Amino acid sequence: MVQIYRFAAVRPGQQYSEKIPSVPYDVVTAEEARECIEKNPLSFLRVSRPDAELPDIAPNDDRVYQRAREVFDDMLADGQMQRDPEPGMYVYRAVQDGEEFIGLVCCVATEDYENRRIRRHELTRYDKEEDRTRHIDAVGANTGLVFLLYRDPGEIFSYIHSLIDGAEPDGSTTTGSGVLHQVYQVTDDGILSRLEELFSAVPETYIADGHHRAKSAVNVAERRRSEGRFTEEAGKFMVVLFAHDRVRIHGYSRLVADLGDYTLPGFIGALLKAGWNVQLRGDRHLGLPGPAARDH
């Protein structure tokens, strides 16, 4: 079963809600992040990509991660970021091109990752893992979401949607690409207990995005446990949960570098036998039987 947990989020102060939000740390280079920060000195990239402001220091230097902690602490001290006074959960709503996506932001246990109740489909790279492990440990916060999918047994999404029907968001911002992002805080104990109960009927979740962030959070918990610094909060990490039938899945290309002992038709045939839906693009004809389709 899936266990979800309440937490007190650190969020931009109301007057900073349009300035602090930034693109994810891993979609920009250090140079691109530096340009964003120069245009907007309040950008959260100052925390998530501290190497952008320290070009003369190796990106894995301890001082880089310490800089992230210092900037984060300064934002809290200045009121630019504020910690919610009580733990809760948060309904997240995004609107893009007239299409609405709604999820639940909460915490999950690192133990569920280790026990594979949080399922993954991607291998992680040590260098990327170690970067976020050190970043999370230094800042003392999850500064990025892990995107999880769950198979909705039928009433979870409708219940979450009902929580924001007609409500005013507690935070709202629109990106340069026109995507509206809204957050609705949930603190009512009865509602939170109901959410916990609903998700307890879900056997597992699936990582859609954030494999490195998830594994890094697990690494931090293990590291702090081995060093005698473990706390209850270190055993959890922040996620957003979306119902499996309420998302839009776009194509994501992968390159097969080595077919091993397969011929190309044999490889495609093995994929078909395993249940994959294979579409062949272009003019190459492989003489494949079965449900393979050519898509020009």
Which phi and psi (to 5°) does residue 100 adopt?
A: -105, 135
pLDDT at residue number 278: 83
Split at pLDDT 50, 70, 90, the class of 287 is low
Split at pLDDT 50, 70, 90, the class of 102 is very high
Over residues 207-230, mean pLDDT: 97
| Tokens 């859609």 -> residue | 208
What are the residue ranges spanned by the domains of the chain?
10-20+80-243, 264-295
> What tokens appear for 257 in the block?
């570098």
pLDDT beyond 80 at 283? no
Split at pLDDT 50, 70, 90, the class of 292 is very low
| Mean pLDDT of all residues belonging to the chain | 92
What is the Cα–Cα distance from 146 to 28, expressed in whole angstroms? 18
Q: Among 47-51, 82-86, 176-180, where is mean pLDDT lowest? A: 176-180
pLDDT at residue number 284: 56
Bridging pattern class, strands 99-109 and 89-96? antiparallel
Task: For residue 111, give the 3-state DSSP assignment.
Answer: helix
- The DSSP code sequence of 216-248 is HHHHHHHHHHHTT---TGGGEEEEEEEETTSS-
Q: Which residues of 202-238 are buried (b: 16+ CB within 10 A; e: fewer)?
A: bebbebbbbbbbbbbbbbbbbbbeeeeeeeebbbbbb
